[in-house]
Structure 1
Amino acid sequence: MAPRLLIVEDDFTLSEVWRTVFSARGWEVSVASSVAEGLARLDPAPDYLILDLQLPDGAGEAVLRRVRDSGLKTRVAVTTGSDDASRLAALEPEALFRKPVDVVDVWRLGSLSEAG
């Protein structure tokens, strides 16, 4: 069964890069551009989530909080331009990508998940 990835990102170009990279690897990819859309797409729970922290309708932390509070097994990678170390540490994501995101890092994330 193909891994399911939810991308919650309001930057269309970046979400399209991720969609293209992971779809080419055979992943089932869903894209949301807001907190509300991201929350709505957590059922069924994706295997992986790439989450922007600054979205047009609020903070991406709301999506991460729902994942954690619901006990979902979803692995979360956060993308951010923030350099607030305490904020980022409190989120405890499995991966962190600083914006601007290097596509090579995204490709490597896909390779690591296939290996494990």
Structure 2
Amino acid sequence: MTMDADMTDEELETGGLGRDPTLLIVEDDKPFSSRLARAMESRGFTVSVAENVAEALAKIKAGAPAYAVVDMRLGDGNGLDVVKAIHEKREDCRAIILTGYGNIATAVTAVKLGAIDYLSKPADADEVYKALIGSADDTASPPENPMSADRVRWEHIQRVYEMCERNVSETARRLNMHRRTLQRILAKRAPR
């Protein structure tokens, strides 16, 4: 990270974190969340960890963090619900979504709900840190390998699914697809 002349003395002292270095990590993979928590603490954050949506919502109710790293798929729900709850309590929170099931539709939804970035797993601590404190001017480099036809189809299905507010029956009807076929597609990881 380059130190900007526009940063205050306090931001320079805290590495760009500002006055409130609170970070909520919502991740159900315990080894990954503990490694990420340690790495973020070493970078100046005050970290709290939640393993599911219910625990995250309770922590947000007690006090919304300035930063958040939220897994997309959690055992008891969707990480997008956590991002939405955070931004209802604190609009200036810099939240990012981590997912192993990345697609354009959920990335767009995450940004609409207030996320500032969307990272695919496995993401390392440096990528997460850069996303959390990066400026809006930071741009991603173009992909080296464009999407396959299977991936484009999968992305379209995901976009319609999100437009239908994650309603499988309505999505299947709009795509003229059998409901069980759609459920199988949604349960699988994204094709490369």
* TM-score normalized by the length of structure 1: 0.84
Alignment of 1:100-115 (within 5 A): 100-109=122-131, 112=134
For residue 71 of structure 1, report the CA deviation from its aligned partner.
4.6
Q: CA deviation at 1:102?
A: 2.8
Q: Could you say what secondary structure the match of 1:46 adopts?
A: coil
Q: Over alpha carbons, which structure has the higher Rg?
A: 2
Name the counterpart of 2:66.
47
What is the aligned length?
113
Identify the match of residue 119 of structure 2 among 92, 97, 107: 97
Name 1:77's counterpart in structure 2. 96
Bigger proportion of residues as strand: 1
1:65 aligns with 2:65: no
Shift of 1:107: 4.0
How much is the aligned-residue C-alpha RMSD, in angstroms? 1.9
2:40 aligned with 1:10: no
Scaled by the length of structure 2, what TM-score is found? 0.53
Deviation at 1:39, TM superposition (A): 0.5
How far residue 88 of structure 1 moved from its aligned partner, in angstroms, is 1.4
Question: 1:60 and 1:83 mapped to 2: Cα distance?
Answer: 13
Would you say the 8 A contact 2:98–2:118 is kept in 1?
A: yes
Q: Which position in structure 2 is the counterpart of 1:32?
A: 50
- Structure 2 portions without partners, runs of 5+: 1-18, 136-192
**Partner residue of 1:56 out of 71, 75, 85:** 75
Q: Quick check: 1:21–1:107 contact (8 Å CA) kept in 2?
A: no
What letter is aligned with 1:54?
Answer: R
Distance 1:16 1:88 in 2: 25
Higher helix share: 2
The 1:28/1:103 distance shift into structure 2, 3 A limit, reads closer
**Structure 1 segments unaligned to the other structure (5+ residues):** none
Q: Does 1:88 align with 2:107?
A: yes
